[in-house]
Amino acid sequence: MSGGYSNSKKTDDIYEKVCGQQASFAALTMSRLRCMLRGIDIRICIVLLIAIPVFMFGIYLHGQKITYFIRPLWGSPPKPFHEIPHYYNENVTMERLCHLHGWKVRESPRRVFDAVLFNNEIDILALRWNELSPYVTQFVLLESNSTFTSLPKPLLFAGNRHQFKFVEPRLTYGMIGGRFKKGENPFVEEAYQRVALDQLLRIAGIEEDDLLTMSDVDEIPSGHTINLLRWCDDIPPVIHLQLRNYLYSFEYHVDNKSWRASVHRYKPGKTRYAHYRQSDIILSDSGWHCSFCFRYVSEFIFKMKAYSHTDRVRFPHYLNPKRIQDVICKGADLFDMLPEEYTFKEIIGKMGPIPHSYSAVHLPAYLLNNAEKYKYLLPGNCRRESG
């Protein structure tokens, strides 16, 4: 009995020395672990070993979604615009329309310059220029042999310029070589090209108080909106245009929140071509924004790799042609993202595919007059050509 007691006492002394850091380094290291694990259920350890990697993998797959979903907790919405009601009917005189907006009619209209950076949107450019042609004095287009992400690209407009003979006498075309700086933030290259567009506008002959539209090719002001602004006096120096937001075609109406398009009364030395908020004033219901509205699946792939938000292509399978076609017909998101909103109500309300719309009312006239050629942009025609 005494021998057994003596052995147990010796063992306890060893544990006390180890946990009290009196043993050798090797014994101390191993025994500390034993001290830490005393009283811990091995089943808990197994659960943790499984749960932690699964949790980390889930963050890897869906971290972006989680960040967007909790955006209302960390993000603040931008300052609301002062929205000007937009009045229009083809049977109302211009004098009356200007008066309804609180402006006066001019004796003659201002000159209008429509300036764009061109990537690969040939069909959308045709819709835009045909919509605006009766009201634009000079079309200004800048094209580069580089995408914003420094990928080489062909000069697509130059190769298809023959399709736009109707604007040739009023066209100022420019080409700028890309800098091809790999790894650079794409927005730096985008800003570089927008600065070059400023110079091209001066070459085109823009003068003080001429109207300048600043928008991407797929942000199309309605013709009657530009006509209103060129005929009315006392319009704001800078006014944003609220556009109806569409995705893939005019079948998927997302919302009416597109605001980046703007119209400026040109001021030499002050007006700079940009694509961000430059005013607190916005004119309601002023046109259409048709994002990723392409004829060919290959064009979707090219833009996904080429535009400034290339970080959204998180996995290679996002570029799979079959997946892209399925996403288009479902009205889902190409990048598998949640809506970029600032309240949980708006986020939850926009989750899932965009509802199909079968209305083709109040769309660009050129589109409806050439419906067979551009049927992929109209409701009920989600299938795309492989290209």
Type of residue at 167:
V
Domain carrying residue 62? 42-73
pLDDT tens sequence across 72-125 = 888 888 899 999 999 999 999 999 999 999 999 999 999 999 999 999 999 999
Q: In the listed set 248, 269, 294, which residue is the last one of a domain according to the structure?
A: 294
**Domain identity same for 92 and 195:** yes
Please report whether residue 2 resides in a domain. Answer: no
Q: Which of 73, 90, 121 is the last residue of a domain?
A: 73
- Note the pTM of the prediction, 2 decimals: 0.82
At 265-307, the pLDDT tens digits run 999 999 999 999 999 999 999 999 999 999 999 999 998 888 7
Across the chain, the runs of DSSP E, i.e. the strands, are 82-84, 104-105, 112-118, 138-144, 171-176, 211-214, 219-221, 232-233, 238-241, 243-247, 253-258, 262-265, 281-283, 287-291
| Residue 214 DSSP label | E
Whichever domain contains 129, its CATH number is 3.90.550
Indicate if 142 and 112 belong to the same structural domain: yes
Range 252-257 average pLDDT: 96
Q: Which amino acid is at 371?
A: A
